[in-house]
Each structure stands twice: as structure tokens, then as C-alpha cells.
Amino acid sequence: MNFIIFFVATFISYLLTFPTIIFAKKIHLVTDSKVRKHPAHTHTGIIPRAGGLPIYLSILFTSLIFLPISKIIFGILFASFFLLVLGLFDDAYDLSPYLRFIANILISALVIAFGLGIPYVSNPFGGVIRLDFWQIPLNFFGLHYIWVVADLLAIIWLTWSTNMINWSKGVDGQLPGFVAVTAIFLGLLSQRFTSHDISASSVTILSFIVAGAYLGFLPHNYYPQKIMPGYGGGALAGFLLGILSILSFGKVGTAVLILSIPLIDAIYTMIRRIKNKKSPFQADWGHLHHRLLEIGWGKRRIAWFYWIISFILGVSSLFLKGIEKLIAFIIVGIMLLIFIFIINEMKKQKFI
């Protein structure tokens, strides 16, 4: 059954991307490399940017067909719609990154208001860390308790994951591939835990829907890309992966492990920008995929690198537990930072 749902989401996304490309070109939701100079872009020519539209519609239609629409599912689809609208406006008008960041916080708070939260997280050294010790009752579509610490951390996590994943979409095919892989593994692992007012089977179905929606978009985005994910597609990916990672309380650590590469790249990028006295929100050339381009890697190789690493870490997450996941994440982080350091030194010595 999950395979059928996955196939339906993939098929809808794939088909809807064709008219989206035509629509985006008609209303000028495009990036022209000769007109719009963007320091982080790697593409050339005129490319439509509205990739978030077919992805969201695929998730929406497939969810309405296969998922029981609980309060939380409705909240996810509702909040995701606002993120899509934000993305389309950014595709058209290049919104301020500060405005987008504030909107990310509000949209994250919106989905939390529908009952999503993190009452506890797994302790890598054993047991759990409770986060639901401070509660405030709130009547919002039925009684809901605000877990002050838990909900605040959930908002921070969703805002962070939204931006972290969005930053890793600079190369053709890079984003939809590793998002699909990550969502599949989160779906496989969701059967181990049940949380909130949503069944484990619903979490699994939603995971496969997200994976299918991004996989269906991939053929259009693979090199040479015919359409870009845009801010809507990139931000929606991070938002939904963040949600999937907390729908079952034990999977935040799993998501961190599978997404080690974009996570560490995002942390390094923010530190680098602050060190250089630049805004951490201001786009620039310096992400890992930029470094790989500098040493001669092609765009297809970079995309496959992200997919394969995500797959390897996903398989590892099926077997590693607690402290083992933390150790694996640290090892990946050290290796990545050493790699970036070597590339930086090569640039200083003008070897590249």
C-alpha cells in the first residue's frame, strides 16, 4: 500500500511540473543569469523558479486521497500552503531574507498551534529528556496545552530545518534526491514510535508522500534542469522533514544523522559569514556544493554525492542507537570540516 501511495505522489508531481514550467515562464517566475546576479547560483540561462508549486499540490492531493485528515495533518497542509505562497512571492520579487526568516518563525508557530510538539527527546546516553514540564492551557480548535519549552524548541527546530535544507539546493537535482531519500528512511523508522494524535501508519504514509512528491520533481530538476525548486520547494522540504522528524519523538536524532551534510554545511556557513562580519542570512558563494564545483566536480556528480551519502547515513540510522548516532554525526562533521579546510588551503595556494 505504501508503495502505491509513493507512486501516486511521484506521478502527480511529475505530471504537474510540466504545466508549472509553462506557467512560470508565462508570468516571469524565472531566474535569468544575465539579469539577476545572485552570488550563490550556479546555473546559466533562463530557468523557471516555481518548483514548490507541483511539489505542494502533489502532497496536498495525495494526502487528501490516502490520509485521514486529523487536526495535525490539516495543520501541516495549512501551514505548508503559507510557506508555498511565501516561496512564490520570493520567486517573483526576491523578498528580504529577514522577512522570510520572520515568516518562517510564524509559519512554524502556526503548525505547533495545531498540536505538533516535542514533549521529550531521546538522551543519547540513555533514557529521555523531558520538555513538557511547563504547560499552559489554550483553547485553539479544541483544548491544547502549550508546552512552553517543548513548543519553543520545536519552533526553533522547524525554522532551522526550513533554512538549512533550503541552502542545499544550489546544484541541479541536489535537493529533491536527498530529500526523497531522507523522507523514505524517516517513514521506515516511524513505525518504532507513536506520538501526538496521529498514528504511526499516518506518519509513514506522509513520509512516503513527501518522498514521492520530491522524487517526481527530480527528473525535471536533474542536470540540465528545466525548473528550479525555488524558495518554496527548498523551504518546504526543510519544513516537512523537520515535521516528520518530530511526529515520532525519537527521530530528531535520526534526521540530524541522515542530514549531516546539509546540517554541518549550514552551521559552517553561518560561522563563516559571522566571522567575515557578514549577515548570516545573506546568500553567498561558499557552500559545500560550491567548493565541490571549485575542485572540478560536475553537477551530476555533486547531486549523486548528496544522494549516496544520505542513503548510507539512512541505512546506518536503521542500526545505530543513541550514542552511536552521535558518534557517527561527529565523525561525519570532522571529515567534512577537514575536507573544507583542505579546499580553502588549496585556494589560498592557488592550486584551484
Give binding residues for Mg(2+) as ranges: 166
d(CA 33, CA 17) in angstroms, rounded, equals 22
Helix (H, G, I), strand (E, B) or coil at 48: strand
Cell numbers 530545518 label which residue? 161
Annotated binding-site positions: 166
CA 215 to chain centroid, in Å, comes to 14
Which helix (H) or strand (E) is 136 found in, with range?
strand 135-139
8-state DSSP, 96: -
Closest to 242 in 3D by CA, of 129, 154, 322: 154
Helix (H, G, I), strand (E, B) or coil at 219: helix
The contacts of residue 185 (CB under 8 Å, 6+ apart) are 254, 258, 314, 315, 317, 318
Closest to 113 in 3D by CA, of 88, 149, 142, 134: 142
